[in-house]
Structure 1
């Protein structure tokens, strides 16, 4: 398959070929740890990165490889590497770029777990992060210094459904000679293709919309293949000789696939954040219906968000698909097929009303997830963003009086009825 095919064709066929041994049409689950080498020379060539093939399933697996090819095709990337979760994908994206004393600049509007990972956990590696309001372009530019190695944001931010002006942020990254990493989990490549807006790397929690059925945890990093890793000395992991491979230079050797090969040959080899083949199989099946699901998600979200905006118990709805949203003008440019299905509502009754509202819902599931076919709800300030200060919660769009809603693909009238009875009870 080529990227010239339409999205609906790619989501079914990219990476999937009839199994040469059996003719099986669906991608088989290659549930194996290791692979037999043809001979000693073949084994040596694989370990020297002189030949592409399968060695050990911590590194490469045919089922996972099919998924990698499919996600890369949908995003318009040169290559991709899958891993165990969305959080793992973020570390995998940063790993070849960073070093002790280096930093990243990230949007304040991000998933609470990401804020914790970037503000706390990565410090153990000697990395740091500056959080900036990405609507303040001057502040983004000012936060970059000689030790900055990446800029990070979400296309549609979790939890508030805020849409990032990717074109403007990409222009800043380009002027600074830095890669732009975009988390495209909430949008999926059906609604937004960040590489077309200047992103260098795209990360996904495949756990969410890409799989779509709440059965898998998985992550993916898609490489645009467009960044010149050798234009400066900032990225020695990709441009300088690699001691573990007899001085091989990844960018010089692999060109547009340098980041992808490094993430497999070094990242998965040493970090071991591997995706299992059964999980990859479930995600491949989920992606086959991605466009159908996303169209229904968006249609339902517009209907439900519009209704919520008129409810007397609701102070605010953050959905960018509403004409009242300050980010409505970005939808046509960044997410032309819709603003997604994730947003927040601010309740006039405050924190306690939010808890009563969540407990009163019957169709909506109260879970720490999003992007399921089922409609989901969570009070972020008491759960996913609990570790943050109130100021950080407010900056992230998860204030104490805010509830996050992920709209599923059920009948919209049933969702509205459920929300109505729970709001009245709250």
Structure 2
């Protein structure tokens, strides 16, 4: 099925008992076992089935199957938030004393996790210039476990050369993890471009309506963990915490996603609620239509701002003068999503006045909503960062970020015009 069809149909067949067409909400904590042996087989991972909604749920299983098909992976795991997905993707592979490599340009929450929380837990994060994948080799040692980047950065709105990063990571025997939240699988086939694992914040474009928080990990199933057994003992040696299972032997290509489910999710419990899963499924059904409008509107907004006398600079990868335009054409089908940033000639104070004058754009820190949104990252999402960290993350003090929604373009441009006039 093509993306537009898979978003509506993948992972679900009409319920044979009730004939329900919409995916039912299984609002239950637990599932009955047929007998003692059935329960033992489930816990031994010898048979498929449901045990407890903290680990799996039939509603969520549909969303997982749908996302796996859209991203081109073999399986997915949905969790309570995008940050939980990022955390669990890392924790599936690392132990205290290990390190990972990540691009400097990251979502503020991810940067804080990598720069502050993980080091307190004994995991070092080594940051690399997103334009220099060739530096990965020099940062790698025997304790390095993965390379991490964002397909389109938030809020720097830079575009990563995924094939180049994949080649650099694989040359060192490392998997590439790509956050595909801003691009979505509709624009960026990250796994086909060389990524091994994808993470998504379902809260953003996939949910699309600002009503539910969720995250997902999608496993491409192509990385050969057994060939790098010494680097990944978590997947290639018996797990004493789970009946001595060897994930690589037991699950083969699905070793990573299986461990993500039964170790970090099971033990730390950031389970997505079935109701949120249901709402995200509703959003997913219209993702293809919404992304078309997001991209079209964002390009027109970027062109409007680029030609405005008060605007000092505009960063949108879909603009002809963007340094990322060639990558957008090559890897993203020519579509650059709905996120853009700009700065005013009068600097930070003018940016604050502009945001305060907006009437249609909502002032908040989410992105990917059907409604248009605006924020000033240096005082919100990246407020905890020092001036040096802001510069490294590609966030200038005057940067205003817009998440362009699906409203009529003339109404959006009118709001921007009156806000700029107020400045």
Q: What is the TM-score with the length of structure 1 in the denominator?
A: 0.97
Q: 1:255 matched to which residue of 2?
A: 252
Aligned-residue RMSD, C-alpha: 1.0
Q: 1:24 matched to which residue of 2?
A: 20
CA contact (8 A) 1:293 1:373 kept: yes
Q: 1:346 matched to which residue of 2?
A: 343
Q: 1:244 matched to which residue of 2?
A: 241
Deviation, 1:405, is 0.7
1:363 aligned to 2:367? no
**Deviation digits for residues 231-260 of structure 1 (CA, Å, limit 9, x no counterpart):** 121111111111133322101111111112
Deviation, 1:424, is 1.8
Q: 2:168 matched to which residue of 1?
A: 172
1:40 aligned to 2:40? no
Q: 2:183 matched to which residue of 1?
A: 187
Per the alignment, in what secondary structure is the counterpart of residue 195 of structure 1?
A: coil
CA contact (8 A) 1:160 1:342 kept: no
CA contact (8 A) 1:203 1:221 kept: yes
- Distance in 2, matches of 1:421 and 1:23, equals 52
- Distance in 2, matches of 1:96 and 1:140, equals 21
Deviation, 1:137, is 2.8
**Deviation digits for residues 288-320 of structure 1 (CA, Å, limit 9, x no counterpart):** 000000000000011110110011111111100
1:413 aligned to 2:419? no
Deviation, 1:337, is 4.5
Q: 1:388 matched to which residue of 2?
A: 385
**Deviation digits for residues 136-177 of structure 1 (CA, Å, limit 9, x no counterpart):** 233233222222111000001101321100010000011010
Q: 2:2 matched to which residue of 1?
A: 6
CA contact (8 A) 2:142 2:231 kept: no
Q: 1:56 matched to which residue of 2?
A: 52
1:224 to 214, 220, 226: 220
CA contact (8 A) 2:136 2:169 kept: no
- Distance in 2, matches of 1:297 and 1:391, equals 32
Q: 1:324 matched to which residue of 2?
A: 321
Q: 1:132 matched to which residue of 2?
A: 128
Question: Where in structure 1 are there 5+ consecutive unaligned residues?
Answer: none
In the alignment of these two chains, the number of paired residues is 422
- Distance in 1, matches of 2:322 and 2:402, equals 16
Deviation, 1:397, is 2.4
- Distance in 1, matches of 2:286 and 2:61, equals 19
Q: 2:95 matched to which residue of 1?
A: 99
Q: 2:68 matched to which residue of 1?
A: 72
- Distance in 2, matches of 1:395 and 1:423, equals 28
Q: Which runs of 4 or more aligned residues in structure 1 lie more than 4 Å from their structure 2 counterparts after TM superposition?
A: none
Mapping 1:196-235, distance limit 5 Å: 196-232=192-228, 233-235=230-232
CA contact (8 A) 2:105 2:393 kept: yes
CA contact (8 A) 2:134 2:168 kept: no
Per the alignment, in what secondary structure is the counterpart of residue 120 of structure 1?
A: helix
- Distance in 2, matches of 1:96 and 1:304, equals 40
CA contact (8 A) 1:15 1:67 kept: yes
**Deviation digits for residues 203-240 of structure 1 (CA, Å, limit 9, x no counterpart):** 00000000000001100000000111111211111111
